[in-house]
Amino acid sequence: MMNKKIHTLALITILLFLIFMMIPIISNADINIDPGDYKPGGITGANQFVSKANIIIGVIQAVGSIVALIALIVIGLKYMMAGVEEKADYKSTMVPYIVGCVMLFVISNLVAFIYNLVQNNFN
């Protein structure tokens, strides 16, 4: 039980690390430049990366939604057909399913939210 918790915590930590690594850090520090004279320019190649990332996130959301819906239907049908003892097993099956669905939707929407936040602040 403890080993599974450690694996889950490690997976969440790795996912958060990867998400934060995708956020670009921009620094234009120079003591001889007046901050009022700075005119920001576009980041070269960023638009291509963002468009590809948007396509990938959209595909992940679509495929994940379809798989989650099919899994919910299968688990729901098995739950309705099951006896009293088997229903307890399916209730324990639902916990990882719900956690997976929440991670799928929250992480993909969180990445989109961070992108929109950064995009609005730098444009």
Residue 92 in tokens: 């324990």
Tell whether 11 is covered by a domain: no
4 — pLDDT class (breaks 50, 70, 90): confident
Select the highest-mean-pLDDT range: 1-5, 9-13, 72-76, 118-122.
Answer: 9-13
pTM beyond 0.75, yes or no: no
Residue 35 in tokens: 């901050």
d(CA 112, CA 58): 10
Closest CA to 115 of 36, 46, 47, 50: 50
Tell whether 72 is covered by a domain: yes
Sequence-distant (6+) residues with CB within 8 A of 98 are none
**Domain extent at residue 94:** 48-123
Tell whether 17 is covered by a domain: no
Asked if residues 122 and 40 have their Cβ atoms less than 8 Å apart, the reply is yes
Sequence-distant (6+) residues with CB within 8 A of 18 are none
Q: Which residue has the higher pLDDT, 50 or 12?
A: 12
Of 37-41, 64-68, 104-108, which gets the smallest average pLDDT?
37-41
Say how many domains are in the chain. Answer: 1
Asked if residues 115 and 68 have their Cβ atoms less than 8 Å apart, the reply is no
Tell whether 116 is covered by a domain: yes
